[in-house]
Structure 1
Amino acid sequence: MGLWTKFLGYIKNYKYSFLTFIPLLVLSYLLNGKMFFAVINIASLFFLFNILAKTKYTFLVSSILVIFITSDIVYYLLYSSSMYVGILSSIMETTPKESKEMFGELYIWIVPVLLIVIFLVVKMLGELKRNNLKRIYAIGAFIGITFVLIPVYLFVNLSRDKDVQIQALYANNPLLWSQTVISSKFPVVYNDIAIYVAYFTERIKINNLLSSHKEIPEGLSPDSTAQVVERIYLVIGESSFRGHYSLYGYDVETTPFLDSLKNNTDQLHYYNAISPAPLTRDAIRFSLSFGTPLDQDAFFTKKNIIELAKDQGYETVWISNQERVGSFDNYTGMLASSADKTFFQTKHELYRNDLDLIKELDSYSKPSTKQFIILHLAGSHMPYEYRSDSIAEKAIPLHNTVNVTKYDRTIHYTDRVLKEIYDYSIKNDKQSIIYYFSDHGESIGKGHGLINEGIEQFEIPLVVINNNTEIAIDSIVNQYMQPQLNVINNVNSVYILAEILGYKVSRNLIDAGLKEGRYIYHVDGRAYLFNKLK
């Protein structure tokens, strides 16, 4: 009876500590699946908060910990996983409005969870300040766990891991390897620290590589005998999952224009494609440069497709219905800055009419000049209701769930945008080529860039409308088709476009492209074989 009374008194005296650390222990366990690692994770935080409670001027460190804990809780509640470098990068490298569009639910949950965490941490620090654990002992325990036990575990784990990709990741990027392991074993707070360190280390590396001299990849050379295309329209969609294109067999008529070309002309060529990454920042850089999930530095050391077009005498234009963040703040900005002329959306509003880009296209188009024109759409990005209009709503009445219906309307709207570009090209340059793909796919209603979601985040359309009968599109594209899987990784679009621009691609380079095309780059910063994804 005396022990029970003492236990109840202990809980009463440290109720806020229990209310804080027990849920965090559960969260850590849910994220890593091992109670042993969950205990280590939370024990380290327990001793850290004991140090802070008995130290003056701890406001800054405590505030950072509160932010990390809040983000861990909110992200798990919504996505049942830890935060990853790719997600942080997307938040940091977009405008606040675009970030909110992608992670809108996060913003809704952050304030209430943050207030609860602040309340509990403040109360908990007061309790820990009064406990009998001396600061020197808390410091010793914290250092022992965080800087001895955890690092020892990491390196023992590495020595035992026979995974070739893990070993390669460690050799090429030890920080990212550490973040990957920490996120899976010690996800609460320490994962947040690791991803911030990994992200800002990546930024330093980017700044160092920006001054790199760019070369044409070995095996790529101008072909003087190649058929010249006067106008190439490269149309980049957004969050477009090909499984919802009637062109690809979907049972709702979402792509009437593309369907009409398929049924009535031989101009249309379409392929089962996969995106090299489920986030725009990575998908675009791997699709328009020679950077790949296995060789990311090639983005900086090799010329991108825009620079190759300029070398072939094309005027290059980048027209985007997305806001500019900065020329060198993200990979898309870096690519756009390679173009001779650029246009970015300046309307700070959710509804961005992709059809408005036709007006911009008309203002930048020069029918008497060879041009390589990139049009970057808002496409099917969340929120879906802002990516269509009354015409799409009338064409596709409510069916299935509301989310699916709204999403299908965005595909219908994009189909109309492609029709307008096609009509414009026929009117102004009959020998043109329209090359359309989406940056990545979409888990409908959930978004993209989610580690626990399926391959619909990667399954994208690749559509070519060929108004130049001298160019055999199928023979070019099929060189990069993955055997057995019958898909083409959009990481190979840079080779396909290079051939269309008049370059000759060697057999060795084609083989290298096929090898690279087996991999995708996920939000945890790791390359995975696509056929191993669930």
Structure 2
Amino acid sequence: MLISIISIIYFVIELYIAQHTYGRHPRNFTILMISLPVLFFSCGRVGSLLLNTIFLVILLIDGYVTYTCKLVVDSTLDAIIGTNPHEAASMLGMVHWPAYIVAFLLFCGVATLSWRLGRWNGRMIMIALIPLLLSGFHDIWKVYSNIKPFMTTTWSDRGYREWMASILRNNAPGVMGDIAYIGVIISEQTGIADRRYRVIPHTMTDPQVIGRHAGRVHNIIFVMGESSLATHYSVYGYKEQDTTPNLQNMTTTKQLCTLSNVHSNANMTRNSVPMTFSFQTPENRGALVDEKNIIEMAHDNGYKTFWISSQEGTGVYARPFGYLSEYSDYTTRSDYNNQTSGVNWTDESLIPALADKLQDPAEYKLYVIHIMGSHGRYEDKIIRSDVEALPNADAYDQSIHHTDSLLQRIMAMAAADLGDYTLLYTSDHGEVVGVGHALQYGGYDQYIVPMIIHDSNGRGTYCDMAEHMRNQDGYYTSIMNKYLLLNMLGYDIDPAAIKSVQSTDHILHSDAKIYDYSKLPTAQHPH
């Protein structure tokens, strides 16, 4: 009777998880739910205690992620794999305390019953293992059958393990499929990073580039924000709090311009950042590793490049933008070359490194500053002055205020040390406040971003250029960032290529599928 209660708990949580994935696997689900409790309780007291409690913890974590994201896709698991200890602790702080109480009570109950009811029974272990092993071998064979025709050297360098892991997950139910996916990715994570994202010079220039001249802007600063929703910026009309007093003042005094109706082309950092700093698009993801990126293009035209980041750049999730950063003449991140710079996960730690590199005597320079911005847990991204300035605001609005102050400091430093410079600020993606991003059914908030330009060459030059780069539906999209940068760097782009981009408005969603921006998937219309 008591074992049946635990089996029902497993069944309910596992069914919920399985129903919120793309795979549909009633055969495997039935085998798993019948066999696993029998197996666990037949492994003796110690075995039963360990297996049941570990499985329950994984179930609860996976169940919570599923509840938050509504649909767990491969990219969701990639993000979990790429989470560093600080980010993990920070995100756990966003979980409401009643959830911890329920989880603790369940854990204690299952642990107690596992110890009391666990008995060694070799015969039952064999009976439970046979269907599990047969089902597992069947799934592995299906994976092999799917990938065998594509197992060429070139294709394997493009991440065949991710596809293999994805197929395996789609054939296994719920938490077991998620465990299988994570296991495959982690086991080969180093190999993928070394082979696919090796930092070697590219020889191919994208055919959109049709000419080159001397750099048009001597000093370029690109600040890439994080999880920043434009509708929470007072400079964009937000009325609840004065979140951006510095940006508002600089707009009023005509030191910068703000573009309205701006959206990112992806709702995840790993997909969005490469669309600004390489020729990657939703339709052409291979351009990131096949062609010269924007950093290389800057080198080719005489620019010295700097990438200063409070974000990490290793691991399966972060490697696409970490890879780009390492093409710079100088790179420092929270996980790379930071012994001297002192850079860590806080955005304030970037200021000393930036102050030092602003003194570089090179005539032409490109600075990329990649910040943590408003990534959850929001309370970790603010300091006392933000709370004092907005005492009645929530932590997310205070984090926007923090970014506003950071931008003001960067601009003051640039004005003092560089004199002539152009600055662009945007965010990798938006945020569903209090929930997150990379959500399958998260809607438009996770795409809406700010776009702010300070142009020393005349306030209208790049503001006007950006306005003329809007798509046919009226939106400026983050894909256009690269064209602004290339113009500053002295390159000419084929007008027909830009018109082709403007003719559509596609985004790369969290399920790695391409959607028209006007037709984002919803729970009612998942496409």
Q: 1:382 aligns with which of 351, 354, 376?
A: 376
How far apart are residue 187 of structure 1 and its match? 1.5
CA, structure 1 residues 53+384, in 2 after alignment: closer, same or farther (shift >3 Å)? Answer: closer
State yes or no: 1:89 paired with 2:75: no
Distance 1:375 1:506, change over 3 A: same
Question: CA distance change for structure 1 residues 256 and 172 in 2, over 3 Å: closer, same or farther?
Answer: same
The answer for the alignment partner of 1:438 in structure 2 is 427
2:450 aligned with 1:461, yes or no? Answer: yes
2:121 to 118, 129, 153: 129
- Please list, as runs of the form range in 1=range in 2, the aligned pairs for 1:72-471 lying within 5 A after superposition: 72-77=59-64, 79-80=66-67, 81=70, 83-105=72-94, 109=100, 112=104, 115-116=107-108, 119=111, 122=114, 126=118, 129=121, 135=126, 138-139=128-129, 141-142=131-132, 145=135, 174-175=163-164, 178=167, 181-182=170-171, 186-197=173-184, 204-211=191-198, 214=202, 215-224=204-213, 228-251=216-239, 252-265=241-254, 267-322=256-311, 330-345=319-334, 354-355=347-348, 357-365=350-358, 366=360, 369-399=363-393, 405-469=394-458
Secondary structure, aligned partner of 2:121: helix
Q: Determine the structure 1 residue equivalent to 2:153.
A: none
Helix, strand or coil at the partner of 1:509:
helix
How far apart are 1:148 and its partner, in Å?
5.1
Structure 1 unaligned blocks of 5 or more: 1-10, 157-170, 400-404
Matched, 1:28 2:28: no
Q: For 1:134 and 1:361, how far apart are their aligned partners in 2?
A: 61
TM-score by length of 1: 0.77
Q: TM-score, normalised by structure 2?
A: 0.78
Contact 1:27 / 1:188 at 8 angstroms: preserved in 2? Answer: no
Which one-letter code corresponds to 2:7 in the other structure?
F
More off after superposition, 456-465 vs 384-393: 384-393
Question: SS of the counterpart of 2:221?
Answer: strand
SS at structure 2 position matched to 1:407: helix
In structure 2, C-alpha distance between the alignment counterparts of 1:207 and 1:294, rounded to whole Å = 25
1:431 offset after TM fit, Å?
3.0
Give me the CA root mean square deviation: 4.4
**Alpha-carbon distance change, 519 to 450 in structure 1, aligned in 2, over 3 angstroms:** closer
Structure 2 spans left out of the alignment, 5+ residues: 147-159, 523-527
Contact 1:479 1:510 in 2 (8 A): no
Shift of 1:235: 0.6
Superposed displacement of residue 208, structure 1: 2.7
Bigger shift: residues 243-252 or 424-433: 424-433
Shift of 1:372: 0.3
Partner of 2:149: none
Question: 1:244, CA displacement in angstroms?
Answer: 0.2
1:112-168 deviations in Å (ceiling 9; x for gaps):
4894597279459836838x8683x54554456555599889x99xxxxxxxxxxxx
CA contact (8 A) 2:16 2:63 kept: no
Indicate the SS of the match to 2:195. Answer: helix
Counterparts in 2 of 1:85 and 1:199: CA distance versus 1, 3 Å: farther
Q: Secondary structure at the match of 1:294?
A: coil
Cα distance in 1 between the residues matched to 2:224 and 2:81:
22
**Distance in 2 between the 1:501 and 1:175 partners?**
40
| Matching of residues 487-502 of structure 1 within 5 Å | 487-502=475-490
Distance of 2:104 and 2:271 partners within structure 1: 32
Aligned partner of 1:248: which letter?
A: Y
Superimposed CA distance per residue, residues 260-299 of structure 1 (whole angstroms, 9 cap, x where no aligned partner): 2333316424243323333333332333222333333321
C-alpha contact (below 8 Å) 2:342/2:349 kept by paired residues: no
Q: Deviation at 1:483? A: 2.5
Deviations 1:94-120 (A, max 9, x none): 431133223445798598489459727
Deviation of the 1:333 alpha carbon: 2.2
Task: Give distance in 1, aligned partners of 2:59 and 2:372.
Answer: 29
Conserved 8 A contact 1:321-1:377: yes
Q: Distance in 2 between matches of 1:93 and 1:68?
A: 22
Q: CA deviation at 1:474?
A: 3.8
Match of 1:163 in 2: none
CA distance in structure 2 between the aligned counterparts of 1:507 and 1:236, rounded to whole angstroms: 26
The whole-number CA distance in structure 2 between the counterparts of 1:26 and 1:220 is 55
Work out the CA distance in 2 between the residues paired with 1:480 and 1:509: 12
Paired residue type of 1:468 = N
For the residue of structure 2 that corresponds to 1:436, the secondary structure is strand
Deviation at residue 432 of structure 1 after TM alignment: 1.3
Deviates more, 1:454-463 or 1:384-393: 384-393
Q: Tell me, in whole angstroms, the C-alpha distance in 2 between the residues paired with 1:379 and 1:206.
A: 26
| Change in 2 beyond 3 A, CA 1:64/1:389 | same
Query: Aligned pair in 2 of structure 1 residues 148, 386: CA closer, same or farther (>3 Å)?
Result: closer
| Identical counterparts, % of pairs | 23
Give 1:476's aligned amino acid.
Answer: M
One of 465, 469, 492 as aligned partner of 1:476: 465
Q: Which stretch of structure 1 is more off in the superposition, 202-211 or 431-440?
A: 202-211
Task: Name the amino acid aligned to 1:187.
Answer: G
